[in-house]
Amino acid sequence: MSRPLACGAVAVHSEELEFSTQGDADVIDITTDVERLVAGGPIDDGLVTAFVRGSTAAITTMEFEPGGVADLRALLDRLVPVEGDYEHNRLNHDTNSHAHQRASVIGASDQVPLIGGRLALGTWQQLVLIDFDDRPRARTVVVQVVS
């Protein structure tokens, strides 16, 4: 789904990516997918936003390697444990309040400058999707470029 839109001096290009996740803090490197969408679009300079739909997933940047992923998971386990006294779980007869809280801490989106048709990420920096829910999910990431 590609919808370039010109609004005065502003150009907007939007597309969506679909991912299947395992849940339970599954971390997926989405950098290549976002780069592919950006490369095929009409905008070379601007700001790229990657936004995940849903209240139990997040997007951020990190060094996507096994040690970094393990350390992030350990940090989140300490900060927002899976097992806890969560009102959401009591009120909704649910088991995923930790997933909502973790997603709120990280955030549903991240932005990266686009310069000369390339994401301005650092050498060891990747865009990642993290699914905190307690079951596998289908996730949609909206990628939007604004110039």
Domain boundaries 19-140, CATH class: mainly beta
The pLDDT of residue 33 is 98
Residue spans of the domains in the chain: they are 19-140
Vertex 44 angle, CA 39 and 47, to 5°: 100
Whole-angstrom Cα distance, residue 75 to residue 69? Answer: 10
**What separation in angstroms does the CA of 9 have from each of 3, 5, 125, 147?**
16, 10, 31, 8
The pLDDT of residue 9 is 78
**pTM value?**
0.92
The pLDDT of residue 76 is 96
Number of H helices and E strands in the chain, helices first, is 4, 9
Token output for 6? 């010109």
Q: What is the pLDDT along the chain (147 residues), one digit of tens a residue?
A: 555 555 567 899 999 999 999 999 999 999 999 999 999 899 999 999 999 999 999 999 999 999 999 999 999 999 999 999 999 999 999 999 999 999 999 999 999 999 999 999 999 999 999 999 999 999 999 999 999
